[in-house]
Amino acid sequence: MWRRASFYPSIVLLLPCLLTNQLQAEVTINPLPQPLVIDTSGYTARVDEDGCLSSLRVHGQEFLAADVSISRGTYFFHLGPVKQKEVEQPATGTIRASGDLSSIQYSFDDEGMTWELTNHSNVDFVFFTVFADEIDGIRDAGELSKGPINGEESHLTCYRGDARLEIEGFTKVWGPWQGPHQVGQVDLKAGETKQLQLQVGKTSAEEHEALVKLNALPADEAITLLSPRPYQVFQRRNTLQGEVIVSGRCRPDIEQLEIRIRGESLIGPLPERWLTIPLVSPIREFNTKLPITAGGWYSLDVRARINDEVVAAGRVDKFGIGEVFVGAGQSNSTNCGEFQTNQQTGMVSSFSGEHWQLADDPQPGVADSSQGGSFWPTFGDVMYEKTRVPIGVAATGFGGTSVNQWQPDGELFQWMMTRVYQLGPQGFRALLWHQGESDVKMAEDEYYEKLRNVIVASRAKAGWEFPWFIAQASYHNPENLKFDTVRDAQERLWKDAVALTGPDTDTLTGDHRDLNGLGIHFSPKGLKAHGKMWAEQVGGYLQEVLETEQRSP
């Protein structure tokens, strides 16, 4: 039974109770048995029993996505969404949710809210806000756009229908995640407290006109598909299963949207059947996750109907469910090989952060904009032969860099992490690190601690414990084949279970190197050998992981 308790003149707190009709002005809930719904003249917010604010409806429009993958709408993340142990009302207009690792205090008034976030632990972690895919427009410091927006922005204004939501206090904003979703992130160091300020309102006449123009489709463009993209690889969840995100928008007069996915999976052809996709919001957007057997390439057909008549159709070719890897480090992780190489299987693709493409060199998305050859095409080909599923790679490295330049407060770390964020939690299998040649004069303990710091920080900020593989890399030239300071530090990271064992690339000497064997980078022969070495290490690990999953009840 729901009763109403007023703690602000224009705010009501709804909660399940067996009280009489004469409720007190303040109600203490400890622990919270059911969700709380805070209802004001401008918005309705829901705080669940785990302390997460999972719904925020501004003038009737939902702005959060609490049912996408692991999202709770708003939540702390450390090895998974953090659930608070206690939820209580310490004062009028305030709800506090707290646990061992973190706490959040929500303060409510008619115009908006303040969220006070505290990290009580001794490690860094993050707080996420995941926005609904039906958002009509987003604005940061620049122009109004459809989004998602990526950048070091603290302020974000989101629009949906005639409602607007402004939030101040993010560390960064990024996307797309799980289709078209915009994400706001707050980084919290150990013991740190930060605030998010939220204001609600309605769109102005000028904003409404801009939103209409932004979301208008040309007369000949009835359907716009945002996901899947050509050559996109979705990370499989186990040997046989994964999910494809189908998202986009269609013209407002479209009444029904149907899709069909076809192609060869690991266990045979997919069933060829048409599925109806739900359409939401006045501008007819859609976002659906479909469980699909691992494999590919697949194709997706889409058709739009009005009065049972097909009025438009579209198609996306070549996407799949397979294995995805992120790369980072210095030149031998990027495009600095002597000559460009190409993948041979047609089943390997690269993600630039904006688009997917066949993984022919030069690899897109690297921080140094290098244009030579890489080991990634061969790595992908061999991994495909081992797994028989599409392989996706996302290289982010920068040539000539020291581990000092990859520390968490630097631009290269953020470049790498943007790709990690875009792929999302469990959105790739592992990160492959090839670096060390620039640090051969660094003391072993110093290199160990600095690379360990990069690894630990990357997992804390990503919010999940993704595997790191570290290559042994210190080779300079035929007179300087290896340097034990760096090699011993890399080996210690393996032995201490901070990272997994990568290939010993210092063994690739002679004609495996460029400049007739005198250089530090790889010749075409060396690039192929390098890719095969990586595939052997990663392939062996992957086989063990998949076999363990199959044995699990």
DSSP line for 104-156: EEEEEETTEEEEEEEE-SSS-EEEEEEB-TT--EEESSS--BSS---BS-SEE
Q: How confident is the model at residue 166 (pLDDT cuts 50, 70, 90)?
A: very high
Please give the share of the chain, as a percent, with pLDDT higher than 90. 68
CA-CA distance, 57 to 337, in Å (whole number)?
A: 53
Q: How confident is the model over 300-328, as pLDDT tens digits?
A: 999 999 998 888 888 899 999 999 999 99
Sort 418 into a burial class: Cβ within 10 Å, 0-12 / 13-18 / 19+: middle
> Which regions of the chain carry the CATH code 2.60.40?
223-319
Rounded to whole angstroms, how far apart are CA atoms 69 and 53? 16
The pLDDT of residue 366 is 95
> Please, which pLDDT band fits residue 34 given cuts at 50, 70 and 90?
low
Distance CA 51, CA 63 (A): 18
Q: Which CATH number fits domain 2-215: 2.70.98, 3.30.40, 1.20.58, 2.30.30?
A: 2.70.98
Angle CA(131)–CA(135)–CA(141) in degrees, nearest 5?
Answer: 80
Q: Which residue has the tokens 């310490």?
A: 90
- DSSP single-letter state for residue 361: S
Strands (DSSP E) found in 189-273? 193-202, 223-227, 233-235, 241-250, 256-265, 268-269
pLDDT of residue 70: 86
Tell me the CATH class for 223-319.
mainly beta
Greatest alpha-carbon pair distance for the chain in Å reads 89
Mean pLDDT of 91-119: 92
Question: What integer pLDDT is reported at residue 3 of this predicted model?
Answer: 25
- Write down the residue that tokens 């009302």 correspond to: 89
Q: Do the beta carbons of residue 184 and residue 156 sit within 8 Å? A: yes
pLDDT value at residue 335: 94
Does residue 342 have a pLDDT over 90? Answer: yes
Q: Which CATH superfamily is domain 320-551 in?
A: SGNH hydrolase (3.40.50.1110)
As a whole number, mean pLDDT of residues 490-513 equals: 96
Q: What is the pTM of this model?
A: 0.73
Residue 168: enclosing H or E segment and its boundaries?
A: strand 163-168
Domain with CATH 3.40.50.1110 in the chain: 320-551
pLDDT in tens, 206-215: 888 888 788 7
Q: Which residue has the tokens 């192609």?
A: 263
